[in-house]
């Protein structure tokens, strides 16, 4: 057995209603002035104000200008708001976009950099402490050291990563997801499965990440459709747990082919992140299992015959959730596939993928997503 390491410094509080205890969690960290970065919906719904009211005066400001795919402008705005509040920490209340923008803002402040410098490779040398309060069951970002930030004017979607970006505390409260639209639960929840399958397909996998990935996938496969289509609260609870477990897995392995292939789908064609990763995940998982046959044995532990059966079940769920599965449905012309393939192999995390396909092979993978090539 090969040697391996694990680093997971985030203190986790999990439970329905746990967000109401935010003042206790803040008091335990020793913070005296923090900025709340909140999803715009959390502000409109009044939930952000409830968190402010429950903070015993420690929250000194609220910033909510965060796009679904967080941009350098969002990050610079959040950093400026934290600077104005003289904040000694940041609370992120929202989905993956808010958590990512908050991590990047914390890094910008701690490293004395702009967001533009961060997404063009300037190293993270410091970061403000972060308290993550996720409001979607999907990203697992509350326990990972990665933030995905876009610089749209330059067609950059950059996976910013550093151990300094691990949240200090994660407050995981499924109740915050109960009011989310089913479409949001679907698009974020499918990413839980993608994170698990990516972790199994990474050159950095370990026995512990394999176990977490299998456990997260088992829970997500069993609960995602009920959570998204029926708004079943117990299923949502389970999806929050699956998302957290998946985060513990891919925080160590990094994401792989499906995510590398997703970034340009999101930055150029505005496909929601989870839907974009799921778009090619089935194909990547089949290919990676051929390069790591042990994957077939691993998925048997959670009731699947082999990797092909996992991919088939994923495709069933995508259809059940109403996610798009062809280039035509996404509005992507076939002549753009060459660019999609190039951006995939150029992505920072593509090197994590077990199967290192050539650009032409990745192009062919995308072409099988065309309705004109259905069944190919």
Looking at the structure, do residues 73 and 212 belong to the same domain, yes or no?
Answer: no
Q: Distance between CA atoms of 4 and 293, rounded to whole angstroms? A: 20
- Same-domain pairing of 118 and 205: no
Q: pLDDT tier at 1 (50, 70, 90 boundaries)?
A: low
Do residues 41 and 165 both lie within one domain?
A: yes
193 with 298, same domain: the answer is yes
**Predicted pLDDT of residue 376:** 40
Q: Other CB atoms closer than 10 Å to residue 311's CB: what's the count?
A: 20
Decide if 55 is inside a domain.
Answer: yes
Q: Write the pLDDT tens digit of every residue in 301-352.
A: 999 999 999 999 999 999 999 999 999 999 999 999 999 999 999 998 999 9
- What is the domain count for the chain? 2
User: Does one domain contain both 133 and 186?
Assistant: no
Q: Of 125, 154, 176, which residue constitutes the final position of a domain? A: 176
> What's this model's pTM, rounded to 2 decimal places?
0.94
CATH number, domain of 79, equals: 3.40.50.1970
Tell me which of 176, 196, 224 is where a domain ends.
Answer: 176
Same domain, 160 and 305: no
> Is 5 a domain residue?
no
pLDDT band at 158 (very low <50, low <70, confident <90, very high): confident
Residue 201: CATH number of its domain: 1.20.1090.10
Q: Is 321 part of any domain?
A: yes
Q: Is the pLDDT of residue 373 over 70?
A: no
SS3 of the chain: helix, strand, coil, percent, to 5:
60, 10, 30
| DSSP E strands, 53-178 | 59-63, 89-94, 130-134, 146-151, 156-161, 169-172
- The mean pLDDT value for 228-245 works out to 97
- 70 in the same domain as 97: yes
pLDDT at 375: 45
Gap between the Cα atoms of 137 and 109, Å rounded: 28
- Domain of residue 69 covers 11-176
pLDDT tens digit sequence for 52-66: 998 889 999 999 999
Same domain, 160 and 187: no
- Residue at a domain's end among 143, 176, 209: 176
83-117 pLDDT, tens per residue? 999 999 999 999 999 999 999 999 999 999 999 99
Question: Do residues 33 and 172 both lie within one domain?
Answer: yes
Does some domain include residue 207? yes
| Euclidean distance between CA atoms 245 and 357, whole angstroms | 29
Token pair of 348 as six digits: 């920072």
């Amino acid at each position: 057995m090969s040697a391996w390491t694990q680093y997971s410094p985030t203190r986790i509080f999990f439970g329905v209603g746990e967000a109401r205890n935010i003042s206790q969690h803040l008091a335990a960290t020793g913070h005296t002035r923090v900025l709340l970065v909140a999803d715009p919906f959390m502000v409109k719904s009044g939930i952000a104000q409830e968190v402010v009211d429950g903070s015993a005066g420690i929250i000194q400001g609220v910033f909510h200008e965060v796009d679904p795919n967080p941009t350098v402008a969002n990050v610079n705005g959040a950093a400026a708001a934290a600077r104005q509040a003289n904040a000694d920490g940041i609370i992120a209340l929202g989905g993956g976009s808010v958590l990512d923008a908050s991590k990047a803002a914390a890094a910008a402040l701690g490293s004395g950099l702009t967001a533009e410098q961060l997404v063009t490779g300037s190293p993270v040398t410091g970061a403000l402490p972060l308290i993550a309060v996720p409001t979607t069951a999907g990203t697992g970002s509350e326990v990972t050291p990665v933030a995905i930030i876009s610089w749209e004017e330059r067609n950059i979607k950059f996976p910013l990563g550093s151990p300094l970006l691990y949240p200090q505390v994660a407050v995981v409260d499924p109740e915050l997801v109960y009011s989310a639209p089913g479409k949001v639960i679907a698009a974020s929840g499918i990413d839980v499965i993608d994170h698990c399958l990516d972790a199994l397909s990474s050159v950095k996998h370990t026995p512990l990440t394999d176990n977490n990935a299998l456990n997260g996938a088992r829970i997500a496969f069993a609960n995602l459709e009920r959570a998204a289509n029926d708004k079943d609260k117990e299923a949502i609870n389970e999806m929050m747990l699956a998302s957290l477990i998946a985060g513990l897995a891919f925080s160590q392995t990094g994401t792989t082919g499906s995510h590398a292939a997703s970034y340009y789908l999101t930055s150029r064609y505005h496909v929601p992140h989870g839907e974009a990763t799921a778009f090619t995940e089935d194909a990547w998982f089949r290919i990676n299992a051929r390069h790591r046959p042990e994957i077939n044995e691993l998925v048997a532990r959670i009731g699947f015959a082999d990797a092909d059966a996992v991919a088939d079940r994923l495709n069933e769920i995508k259809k059940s959730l109403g996610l798009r599965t062809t280039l035509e449905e996404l509005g992507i012309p076939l002549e753009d596939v060459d660019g999609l393939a190039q951006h995939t192999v150029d992505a920072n995390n593509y090197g994590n993928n077990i199967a290192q396909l050539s650009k032409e092979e990745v192009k062919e993978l995308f072409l099988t997503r065309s309705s004109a090539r259905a069944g190919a």
